[in-house]
Amino acid sequence: MKKDTRPRDARVALDEKIRDSRFDRQSLSIEIDKKRGYLSQFIKGGSPQYLSVASAMKIGQRLQDLEWRQLISDEDMAALDLSETNRAKADGATQILELNVVGAAGGGSIVETETVSETWRLPNRLIETLAIEPETARLITVRGDSMAPTLSGGDRVLVDTRSKAPTPPGLFVVYDGMGLLIKRIEAIPGDMLRITSDNPTYASYDLPIGEVDIKGRVVWSTHSHL
């Protein structure tokens, strides 16, 4: 059975963030209302194996580029997710995850690590209208101008990762071997896909279906109707 490296990876990530911050282990331990040696024991000794939600959140508030959830146990993470989901439903909204991934509406952008950067709450009525499943829908950020005026850099698009068939034609997130792109995709004869931009200054091109990894269909954006 493969050994779970998440606790060790989390400790290494925390130690690196501390070194890049104004804190050291002792001062940060005091900041989160623990004894001076608490974080040294956690990082070097692995005790405790995970931090409490309260301690991890306090660290996240002080090291704002740290993904603090990696410091808590799977059980605490599941309980936290359930709590947030129930609260969102009570508010008439559904949680959708935004990934730390850039979709290029331009010449192409290399895929970054797919970590969660934000959690959005979208109205339940919108989720029902779009007929998507929150668990398989993701928001990503647009970069570039090739899909202008439909999409602009900085827009978010909602991607239904279940919908990968290029029929009917539409707007998709695809990986074409060079980068993650947001383009109009149409199946054409000869097992080919035509990849088109809305901005007429960008030329269309064709690729074999097998060379294009369709990540999902764009069903909504923060900028305009599609």
Res 224: pLDDT: 46
Residue 26: exposed, middle, or buried by beta-carbon count in 10 A (0-12, 13-18, 19+)? middle
Are 71 and 59 in contact, with CB atoms under 8 Å apart? yes
Q: Is the pLDDT of residue 207 over 60?
A: yes
Residue 20: exposed, middle, or buried by beta-carbon count in 10 A (0-12, 13-18, 19+)? exposed
Q: Is the pLDDT of residue 86 over 70?
A: no
Highest-scoring range by mean pLDDT, 1-10, 86-95, 110-119: 1-10
Q: Are strands 205-208 and 192-196 parallel, antiparallel or unpaired?
A: antiparallel
Q: Is the pLDDT of residue 80 over 50?
A: yes
Res 107: pLDDT: 44
Q: Per 3-state DSSP, what percentage of the chain is helix, strand, and coil (rounded to 5)?
A: 30, 30, 40
Res 75: pLDDT: 82
Q: Pick 143 or 38 by higher pLDDT.
A: 38
- Mean pLDDT value across the chain: 84
Q: Report d(CA 123, CA 120) in Å as an integer.
A: 10
Res 66: pLDDT: 86
Are 140 and 101 in contact, with CB atoms under 8 Å apart? yes
CA neighbor of 137 nearest in space, from 182, 169, 97, 110:
97
Cα dihedral 26→30→33→35 (10° resolution) = 50
User: Domains, the chain, ranges and CATH?
Assistant: 6-81 (1.10.260), 91-221 (2.10.109.10)
